[in-house]
């Protein structure tokens, strides 16, 4: 198994967009605000 072998995929990139409060996926690049719960999603 090679978990990080997706072409063009970068798990770190999308993981930074996940809301720390509710786990929703942000539509915009951090820093932004969660569309579901309004929590701030800081740039990492
Ligand atoms: Zn949220």
Residue 17 alpha carbon to ligand 1 centre in Å: 10
Segment 6-24, tens digit of pLDDT: 666 666 668 889 999 999 9
Place of tokens 């770190």: 12
Q: Where are the domains of the chain?
A: 10-39
Q: Is 34 exposed, middle or buried (0-12, 13-18, 19+ CB in 10 A)?
A: buried
Residue 22 alpha carbon to ligand 1 centre in Å: 4
**pLDDT, mean of residues 12-37:** 91
E-only strand ranges, the chain: 32-33, 40-41
Label residue 30 by pLDDT band (50, 70, 90): very high
Residue 36 alpha carbon to ligand 1 centre in Å: 5
**pLDDT, mean of residues 24-29:** 92
């Amino acid at each position: 198994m090679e978990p990080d072998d997706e072409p063009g995929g970068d798990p770190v990139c999308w993981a930074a967009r996940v809301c720390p409060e509710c786990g929703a996926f942000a539509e915009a690049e951090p820093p932004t605000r969660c569309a579901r719960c309004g929590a701030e999603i800081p740039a990492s």
